[in-house]
A and B are shown apart, each in its own frame.
Chain A
Amino acid sequence: MPTPKISVETVKHVAKIARLELNSKEIRKFQKDLNDILSAFREIDKINVKKVKPSFQPLEVRDVFREDVPEPSLTQEKALSNTKHKENGYFKGPRVV
């Protein structure tokens, strides 16, 4: 696959998905960086891996099961101890609609 040329629009689109606001200087900087990085990564085009299985973990990981026994969990007070935005024992978030 040819290296995609990253445009200003692509950087803006990706930043929006990632919930980052970039100014025009940052957009130009990241556009250049991304193009440089992806073109350096073209190294991997040289290798054929069609018959290779992917390793999502370095060692084979199997499903781990345990008995479903209720245990004490984080208290409401502790769970809320790190937020500045709370009300009546709930997290208070930004407007959704």
Chain B
Amino acid sequence: MTKYTMSVKEFLEESRKGNINFLDFAAALLEETQKLNKKFQLLREICDIRDRLYLNPPLNGLPISVKDCICVKGVQSYAGSKILEGYIPTFDATCVDRLKDNGVTILGKTNQDEFGFGTFSTNSGFEVPKNPLDPLRSCGGSSGGAAGLVAALDYPHVALAQSTGGSISAPAAFCGVVGITPTYGLVSRYGLIDYANSLDKIGVIGKSVHDVALILSIISGKDEKDQTSIGEKKDYSKDLSSTKDLKGVKIAVPKEYFQNLEEEVEKEVWNAIKKMESNGATYEKVSLKNTKYGVAAYYIIATAEASTNLAKYCGMRYGMHGKLEGNFNEYFSTVRTSGLTEEAKRRIILGTFTRMAGYRDAYYLKAMKIRTLIIEEHKNIFKKFDVIASPSMPIQPPKFKEIKKLTPVENYQMDFLTIPANLAGMPHLSVPVAKKTPIGLHLTADHLSEDKLFKIGSVFEKVR
């Protein structure tokens, strides 16, 4: 317990009434964040929040942490990579800009896998965040620092995160907190240091469904600076408390999502589904037969796009610099070789290979076609059902020494539950099956049906 232990809702209420001394609040929050960071390595940069208070309504200075790959003006942004060391953005990402307009305090930048390349936040050029529920275990990834900070920090706080293939759901599940990955294009990607353009989504991690719904309402909406921005805007948190039960909610439970699971995970997620049933929902077992192609299709698309995106890091205009020696090819190669970690190099090589003449149609184009089938398969399910329910991750958070033993193929396979929704660009919510428990119930809905997820998720939170 801290002096400021309160929910986001309570914080907004107290600050509106003028009951919070912000100088004291900021100093206490800064001290607590620094203390936690020593213990769990959750943040890459901590801002001196005493100089960065935006106290205007409606959020009245609510603390927000930002995943390292999302640009904040004047704050070093590395996206977890040494190749960006020294890079200080001269502008705010659109989502950060909107939050500042609504009165938030930017707490700092949270640790992640380099450019999002990982499931456990262990593929970083810097510190590896430790899970506050058990520091010998991973926070999940790639938004590991974000989820870890939400779990550890006993202050009103919400985290901006980002997912390409499961980087919000995985850490939210492992740290026992809530994560929303919205529809592709709902939140502008302007100011996001990209991984794979056709897959990247900025989302939110928080302590409750209400908290993530509140922040998503602010950061979503049309942005001229991102041509894939959809332009949908709703107040997702407004009517949340008025939904009392799950009457009429139809849940699809795909059998392919209940294979190769850790026993405890399977048991707990079934319990969660039964709890939703006893609160009025109905469920039916279904089949998503293209699930087995998801991991391959995802890694082909994601690495192909990443290998082109990462071509811009060449040590000239920002980030890591070398001595201007040799010709341009030698110079670029020297900087890239010293600035990128092994996993980044592996993904660049894989992605460059599958785009090469002779292989492009067999891999890249085929993966794009499989994505079509996965989208259609999901659309068919949503003709009859409101949501798909599954576990967020097949396992509970592993120990760091167990992660070291995983081969790349075993590692990629860990994402098989989160990949289909990410490939299809469909919104998904991870809610812990019980408070502070590292197992997530994963709910996926049709494009732009975030409101459904929040309503179902917030009822589940009460009855779990």
Contacts and interface: CB of A to CB of B under 8 A. Distances in A.
Interface string B363-387: 1011111111101000000000000
Given A49-B366, A95-B327, A58 B198 contact: yes
Which range contains the number of A residues in contact with the other chain? 35 or more
Given A20-B337, A44-B293, A54-B371, 4 more contacts: A30-B349, A49-B369, A54-B365, A59-B230
Given A40-B409, A54-B371, A85 B184 contact: no
Nearest to A54: B368
B292, B300, B317 pick with most chain A CB within 10 angstroms: B317
B87 to A, nearest CB: 6
B345 A30 contact: yes
Interface in A32-78: 33-34, 36-37, 40-41, 43-44, 47, 49, 52-59, 61, 63-64, 66, 74, 78
Interface stretch (B24-32, B128-136, B150-158, B350-358): B350-358
Interface residues of B, number: 75
B373 A52 contact: yes
Contacts, number: 170
A44 B367 contact: yes
Contacts of A14: 349, 352-353, 356
Nearest to A75: B90
B239 interface: no
Nearest to A43: B296
A54 B372 contact: yes
A81 B350 CA distance: 34
Contacts of A93: 316, 324, 328, 331
Interface of B: 86-88, 90-91, 183-185, 198-199, 224, 227-228, 230, 290, 292-293, 295-297, 299-300, 307, 311, 314, 316-319, 321, 324-334, 336-337, 340, 342, 345-346, 348-350, 352-353, 356, 359, 362-363, 365-373, 375, 407-409, 412, 423-426, 447
Given A41-B363, A55-B372, A82 B87 contact: yes
B423 A58 contact: yes
A1, A11, A40, A79 pick with most chain B CB within 10 angstroms: A40
Contact of B346 (A33, A55, A84): A33
A20 B333 contact: yes
Interface of B is mostly: helix
Contacts of A57: 184, 198, 228, 425
A4, A20, A94, A95 pick with most chain B CB within 10 angstroms: A94
Nearest to B340: A20
B415 to A, nearest CB: 13
A82 B77 CA distance: 12
Contacts of A53: 369, 372
A97 B329 CA distance: 10
A30 to B, nearest CB: 6
Nearest to B368: A54
Contact of B352 (A18, A26, A66): A18
A16 B224 CA distance: 37
B328 A59 contact: no
6 contacts: A30-B346, A49-B372, A59-B230, A79-B90, A82-B88, A94-B326
B90 A78 contact: yes
B337 A21 contact: yes
Nearest to A21: B337
Contacts of B326: 94-95
